[in-house]
Chains A and B, each alone.
Chain A
Amino acid sequence: MMGPPTGTGTLGRRALLKSSTAALALAALLGRRTHAAGTPWADRPATRVDRLNFVVWTYGDIYTKISKKFADDWVVPVDATISSFNDHPTKLITMYAGGETIDVSQSSPFSFPNFITQGLVEPLDGLPGADEYQKDFTDSAKQVAVVDGKLMGLPYFSTVWVWNYYTDLMEKARFEPFKTYDELLEQCRKAKKDGICDYPIQWVAGVGLEQLPGTWYQLTWNRGGVFFDKAGNQQLGPGSIARETLKWWIQTFTEQLVDPESLRVQFTTSAKAFCAGKNIYRGPNHHYGLNIINDPKQSPIAGKVKAMGSPGDGKTIGATSVYFLCSANRDKEWAWKLLQYLGGRTKDGAYTQAENLARDAMLGSGYASVMKSTAVTEGWKPWGEPDKILEIWDKAIYVGEMCNSIYKPWHFPWSDRINIEVQKALTGQITADQCCDTLIAAIKEVQKS
């Protein structure tokens, strides 16, 4: 049975409005699709895949969102294998060696040359849109992602090394942020003597690729030194700035100005430990630690910690981590599509992941356009002062410029030696001279092996 008639047979005003609205909506949808079609990030690959996967290290909840977006946009499910930062190379390599399929993975700048040497990384040159991405890269991103003239990855995030200080203890001690390293020592001695705190500085000196070595690199670069010159000659010999810096660093331990947990903490654990409010300064490390320390849900001292630049001309170091297309992928076109979701643009043409990382996690980007966008200038505000951090950002060089062994596959095993020998020096088992001499000798060993 048919329902009652709804009209007289002619187009009424209401029906006209309805049909016009529907037509406009359809036109808008089609228009958008037409606009997106033909752009490298919006075209569907000609091949078919049942699913895709990526192997990454953990950072909050960032991968749930982007995986869902990919599955919604392309109706292809994405499997994620996620491990801790330090375990990531192990996980990735064992999967690769075991013959498993890996479409996309990621790397810190410190391990990327090694992954390339192992044959894990597929060059991106010639893939649709690759050139456009490169044009938007920051200098730091270029130096990591472009290897021997070939594009090998897309940026995950960028960071610079900054100092942190706890304003409550600073006020209590009547200190101003230090301007020289001597002033820092004086402040720490005074704070300890006056009972402001037992251990004024917390260093990030736990074992890792960027943790303990990164602190030494930063302190050395800020004082005008390098680890290797442009020709690749080590600069750790007697009288070198790196060696003198290490002597100064050891002094902070000898005088018991340093939180003993410093030798164990990584970036995140250090931020969490600083939340206890027991230290005045947190040594130079990744800028985004503030998103923990100044988060009221995680920190009892939220809002009371500020970022500051380094002494002198404020020179500091920075780094960019990358996503890469794994040579063990199941389908290059689809893997490239997934790689763009993680390290480039999504179907709508936006840098969705990079912008989310800035807004949700205070991470910097390897794309110049994102760094200038409100995702950074406004998105970082809940945890820190974006202008101040961006000022420090402008004084940063990519760490590979002052320690160009990072571009060599042997840098990773040499880092192992740095971790061992420097921790021995910081705990008084050997001197700075012995430490540096051992590290110089170790360069030849790791190059040979």
Chain B
Amino acid sequence: MPAAPKRRGRAELSAGKLGVVMNLPTLATLALVLAYPIGYAAYLSFHKVTPAELRRGVFPSVGLGNYQRILSDPLFLLALKNTLVFTAVTVVVELALAIAIALLIDQRQVWTSRVTRFLILLPYAVPPIANGLIWSFMYNFDFGFLNRLLFSAGLIAKPVNWIGDPNTALFALTVPYIWRTLPFAVLLVHAALQGINPELYEAASVDGAGAFTRFRHITLPLLVPILVVILVLRTSFAFVVFEEVLAITQGGPGDATWVAVWYSYKRSFAPPFDVGIGAASAYVLALIIGALALAYVTIIYRRIE
């Protein structure tokens, strides 16, 4: 048979070009749904923006004025400090618990671990605001389940004002947050555990390694990549905690539980509705999160390599 004539100008794309073309729809979608709002928020952070101006679409420029204002506002600095404390506590506790729980439910010889695997995921299905309300009832001074439980167990002599006391309120907020988000971390660690070759453990056992040694020299090093992912994700999410604050403390008592996103929310969505200030504070927060994520990846991955 005679060969089909080649069509002019319809040469096949190279693999590289094809990759770019195939990615274009995704890039366009991401640009629309992510880049545009992020860019618009950046634009707003350099302008004076009130609701009336938002409706008109005309904003006077204030240069770096919004950033200067928030960085000189003691309440913003306090909110940042509270956010850092909250993040440090939740991320550390969550990582430790995630590893411990994942190791427990990974015991295939124990049949109840299957039930536990299912149950451990339940909190993740609870909407954040509902979780906040549930814990708000749990913490109630007079009728809360927590005080009743501790009192019945003889651990406290009188009810504790968990969220009404400025010394305990921020830490009280970490518990519902960890309870809600822990399953995600457990899931990731558990998946990583299943990817570890069992022969490594068998070989170590033959060499006389105990459980702790196996964990220290096999499990933990092989979990590091996933732990970095969890660190980055959980740090980013803990930095933007909001729902629990809204449902449980509303920033109180006083300013004891003002966190960075609560600050942005109050500045943007409560009178005088200064959206420019809210956008600027959100950007400062985003920069901090970005810097931390970069630090995690750089420092820990360098160690792995």
Contact = CB atoms under 8 A, between A and B. Distances in A.
Contacts of B255: 420, 424
A93 B54 CA distance: 10
B274 A449 contact: yes
Given A261-B164, A449-B274, A93 B69 contact: no
A409 B50 CA distance: 13
A264 B252 contact: yes
16 contacts: A96-B55, A98-B54, A114-B271, A118-B50, A207-B251, A207-B252, A259-B142, A260-B159, A263-B252, A410-B272, A413-B272, A416-B270, A419-B252, A421-B254, A424-B253, A427-B165
Contact of A276 (B54, B142, B161, B164): B142
B271 A413 contact: yes
Interface string B255-283: 10010000000100111111100000000
A263 B166 CA distance: 11
B252 A118 contact: no
Nearest to A212: B252
The size bracket of the interface on A is 35 or more
The size bracket of the interface on B is 20 to 34
- Per CB-CB distance, the 3 closest pairs between chain A and chain B, nearest first, are A424-B254, A412-B271, A97-B54
B140 interface: yes
A52 to B, nearest CB: 20
Given A118-B50, A419-B252, A93 B164 contact: no
Given A410-B272, A412-B272, A96 B252 contact: no
A427 B254 contact: yes
Interface in B94-150: 140-143
Interface string A269-280: 000010010100
A118 B52 contact: yes
Nearest to B159: A260
Contacts of A409: 271-272
A429 interface: yes
Contacts of A238: none
A260 B250 CA distance: 16
A427 B271 contact: no
Given A412-B271, A420-B255, A421-B254, A264 B164 contact: yes
Given A261-B140, A261-B141, A273-B142, A423 B270 contact: no
A261 B165 CA distance: 10
A413 B266 CA distance: 9
Given A114-B272, A118-B50, A423 B161 contact: no
B163 interface: yes
Contact of A264 (B163, B269, B272): B163
Contacts of B251: 207, 420
Interface string B160-183: 010111100000000000000000
B97 to A, nearest CB: 28
B80 to A, nearest CB: 16
Contact of A260 (B141, B258, B272): B141
A279 to B, nearest CB: 10
Contacts of A119: 52
A278 B142 contact: yes
B51 interface: yes
A89 interface: yes
Interface in A218-232: none
Contacts of A273: 142
B142 A89 contact: no
B36 to A, nearest CB: 16
Contacts of B166: 424, 427, 429
A316 interface: no
Interface of B: 50-52, 54-55, 69, 75, 140-143, 159, 161, 163-166, 249-255, 258, 266, 269-275
Contacts of A93: 51, 269, 273
Interface in A50-108: 89-90, 93-94, 96-99
Contacts of B269: 89-90, 93-94
Interface of A: 89-90, 93-94, 96-99, 111, 114, 118-120, 206-207, 259-261, 263-264, 273, 276, 278, 328, 409-410, 412-413, 416, 419-421, 423-424, 426-427, 429, 449
B266 A260 contact: no
A404 to B, nearest CB: 17
B272 A89 contact: no
Contacts of A206: 250, 252
Contacts of A207: 250-252
Contacts of A420: 75, 251-252, 254-255, 258
Contacts of B140: 261
Contacts of A419: 252
B271 A111 contact: yes
Nearest to B275: A97
Nearest to B158: A198
Given A259-B142, A261-B141, A278-B142, A423 B51 contact: no
Contacts of B254: 420-421, 423-424, 427, 429
B164 A260 contact: yes
Nearest to A115: B271
A259 B69 CA distance: 38
A273 B165 CA distance: 19
A142 to B, nearest CB: 23
Contacts of B55: 96-97, 99, 328
A327 to B, nearest CB: 9
Given A97-B51, A118-B50, A264-B163, A423 B252 contact: yes
Contacts of B274: 449
A98 B54 CA distance: 7
A229 B23 CA distance: 67
B14 to A, nearest CB: 45
Contact of B51 (A118, A263, A416, A429): A118
A419 B270 CA distance: 14
A31 to B, nearest CB: 47
Given A421-B254, A449-B274, A427 B164 contact: yes
B79 to A, nearest CB: 11
B24 to A, nearest CB: 30
B270 A260 contact: no
Interface centre among B54, B166, B253 (most CB of A within 10 A): B253
B15 to A, nearest CB: 45
Given A90-B269, A278-B142, 4 more contacts: A89-B269, A263-B252, A416-B270, A420-B75
